Amino acid sequence: MARHDVTRRGLALIGMAFATPAVAQGGSWAPERGMRIVVPFPPGGSTDLLARRLADHLTTALGQTVIVENRPGAGGTVGADLVAKSAPDGHTLLMGVTGSNAIAGSLFRNLPYDPVRSFAPVSRVVSAPLVLVVTAEHPARDMAGYIAAAKAAPGSIGYATPGNGTSMHLTGVMFGQASGTQLQHVPYRGSAQAITDLISGQVPSAFADVLVALPHIRGGRIRPLAVSSPARHPLLPEVPTMQEAGLAGFEATSWQGIFAPAGTPPAALARLQAEIAKAMASPAIRDSFAQQGFLVESTTPAEFASFVAREVAKWAEVVRAGNVRVD
């Protein structure tokens, strides 16, 4: 089968995520003033890009201006805390990620919010495996070579992430546990700077979002070694999974979704979910993000809440087993 056929089939499978219906077809709630989507990372990363596309759609659909407010810091928890303490009226939303809304509860001793109780999940919108990438000049040509190099000099190989407590950070911890290696974590304040320093050779490797890494992989500036999903990624069909490369049972995904503060009226959640579902089903958004490596999704609030609960339990075990702390 030609590579382009594999890609087309993979993108078709991505589109099947829209089988989940919206929780409501609009509802009676409408915002009374301008709204904001808080992004807990700096501008330029995948979370920011997605939030801005959603904000444009919601501005048109809801008849009120929706802005994106970047509040980076502490692995996404600064922005998450801001939303957790905001009025539960539907006018302030969080573009939450795996780190801020699944990992942080077990990672931080004095987290000022509860990842489950402080939020009303609205909808998961995208998810993707991470890809382990190295600089173009790195001697490792595959994951076996990378592991061998890491074992030969424990602690000498750094991996860049968007920050402490993110899914990329903990995926590196999982990788170390599964492969018997000791890597050096190099946290940044967002994905954009992490990838910039990877390309320039300031750091030798990274566990990166496919969306952020893909243009640089295609440009030959960085080399992919393996993806963290059980199946190969449709846009990287020649890159093996970590399971195929020898780490049995290894699976980690980076996901993003919209949350409102706990106590937000159900009517507001229903309207927001319905409009978000429409946005993610629109060709302009769906095709753009699918072609860049994301599984584009739309889930009901109940489905998203159940998913978050499972993720919280999974990452808590990784944090416990790795004795990881960032505060």
CA distance 103 to 253: 12
Q: Look up residue 138 and give its two tokens.
A: 């790195």
Top-level CATH class of 128-227?
alpha beta
* Average pLDDT score over residue span 281-305: 89
pLDDT single digits (tens) 90-142: 999 999 998 899 998 998 888 999 999 999 999 999 988 899 999 999 999 99
For the beta carbon of residue 204, count every other beta carbon within 10 angstroms: 23
Tell me the domain boundaries of the chain.
3-127+254-322, 128-227
- For residue 211 the two structure tokens come to 């969306």
Please give the pLDDT value at position 327: 62
**pLDDT of 250 over the 90 cut:** yes
Same fold, 3-127+254-322 and 128-227: yes
Whether the Cβ atoms of residue 54 and residue 123 lie closer than 8 Å to each other: no
Q: How confident is the model at residue 189 (pLDDT cuts 50, 70, 90)?
A: confident
Condensed to tens digits (0 to 9), the pLDDT of residues 251-278 reads 898 899 999 999 999 999 999 999 999 9
Q: Is the pLDDT of residue 236 over 70?
A: yes
Q: If you classify domain 3-127+254-322 with CATH, what class do you get? A: alpha beta
φ and ψ at 135, to 5 degrees? -65, 155
* Alpha carbons 68 and 165: distance in angstroms, whole number: 23
Q: What is the pLDDT of residue 17?
A: 41
Q: What is the pTM of this model?
A: 0.76
Quote the CA–CA distance of 101 and 218 in Å, as a whole number. Answer: 31
* pLDDT given at position 301: 96
Which pLDDT score, from 0 to 100, does residue 94 have? 98
